[in-house]
Structure 1
């Protein structure tokens, strides 16, 4: 029993270390720019797009997704499905609070989506569809992320109510994403949140 817990803990640590490789900050170093000092201040793909352009954002998207996938694959190979989910959560936590970048990371949406795909692609695609619809209507990427995350536990319960760890992980997902979007929620309420496809005016 103790060994099982140690294995699970080691998967979380492994995922955390992988997740700490924040793609936007690594790509920013190539450009000589710390994206946390520009735009929204978030170390993620959306702020990279606004700060460094489409090419840089593509590399960030690929990097953020890949580390989530790798964490899950390694966790699955070493420990099984529980290892997959725990390593996945670790990669999200690492992205949000990266060890290598003074614990100042992004909001974990892309990495979370990659991990959700690895856990159950059907649920993940449903959540992505909800995200896309919300963004298309509101033009707020953050709102789409928040609503998609909030509905993850609901979708998980409907689809896999017998898998307790999956349900717990879904709740943790939702909590982490909503927690990291607190400032966005405030700006949405105030009407000052940036809309997708629209540049800020002075």
Structure 2
């Protein structure tokens, strides 16, 4: 195994274990609640807001964003810290690998029986690190969709779907587009239940309790 492969493996491991620190589950435990047993059952910010309130949700927002940012930064540091002549080296790839690993860790956390959240906040933090201008555009898409429909899930899904499309339009490069597509697929796939509820009209709107 070459030096570049070892560094990529290290980035994957660190990113995954950081991502596995699922903030909503940790915050829920502080409140004496397993967030996965309430509301939608999703270990994420929206369910935390519905179940535990605004203060708990703010803590989740901070934690989920922080671990995405840290995974991205650490990934880039590891890849660039020890110079090598690998032809596979691409600027920013360490951050992208670390970010994707953190999202995977959030969705399937090793510390919590591989049952996590949907990774939207962590995904957003990674997107901002990859291309903050595109990230702000996607945030605007999310806000507009949620404001019109009041469906957080729909805003998340459409914003994620727009990421690789926006990256391609901006000409961010093949590797960037590939990673944006992986990120998008990871996020949208975790919304399978939401998509079904949106289609049959039973999805909960923001501010509502989870529908039966």
- The TM tier, using the shorter chain, reads over 0.9
Q: What displacement does 1:180 show?
A: 0.1
Is residue 2:66 matched to residue 1:56? no
Residue 10 to residue 201, structure 1, CA distance change in 2 (3 Å): closer
Q: Which of structure 1's runs of 4+ aligned residues deviate more than 6 A? A: none
Counterpart Cα distance in 2 of 1:120 and 1:200: 34
Q: Is 2:183 aligned against 1:173? A: yes
Partner of 1:187: 197
| TM-score (ref. length: structure 2) | 0.91
Once the two structures are superposed, residues 109-139 of structure 1 have per-residue CA deviations (whole angstroms, 9 ceiling, x without a partner) of 0000000001110111111100111111111
Distance, in Å, in 2 between the alignment partners of 1:93 and 1:197 is: 28
Deviation at 1:201, TM superposition (A): 6.8
The separation in 2 between residues aligned to 1:39 and 1:200, in whole angstroms, is 5
Distance, in Å, in 2 between the alignment partners of 1:133 and 1:89 is 26
Q: For structure 1, which segment, 31-40 or 75-84, has the greater mean C-alpha deviation from structure 2 after superposition?
A: 75-84
1:24/1:43 contact within 8 Å kept: yes
Match of 1:136 among 147, 163, 175: 147
Task: Render the CA deviation track for 1:77-103: whole Å, top value 9, x for unaligned.
Answer: 221411111000000000000000000
Q: CA deviation at 1:200?
A: 5.0
Cα distance between partner residues in 1 of 2:22 and 2:209: 25
Structure 1 residue aligned with 2:16 = 16
**Structure 1 residue 174: Cα displacement:** 1.0
How far apart are 1:10 and its partner, in Å? 1.4
Q: Does residue 1:26 correspond to 2:37, yes or no? A: no
Aligned equivalent of 1:126: 137
1:152 aligns with 2:163: yes
Q: Which one has the bigger helix percentage?
A: 1
Instruction: Find the aligned partners of 1:173 and 1:201 in 2 and give their Cα distance.
Output: 29
Query: Does the 8 Å CA contact 1:45/1:57 hold for their aligned counterparts?
Result: yes
Alpha-carbon offset, residue 9 of structure 1: 1.9
> In the alignment, which residue of structure 2 is the partner of 1:102?
113
Q: CA–CA distance in 1 between the matches of 2:161 and 2:15? A: 23
Size of the alignment, in residue pairs? 201
Q: Tell me the equivalent position of 2:86.
A: none
Determine the C-alpha separation between the residues in 1 that align with 2:208 and 2:29.
26
C-alpha change, 1:33 and 1:158, in structure 2 (3 Å) is same
Question: Which residue is equivalent to 2:124?
Answer: 113
Contact 2:35-2:51 at 8 Å conserved across structures: yes
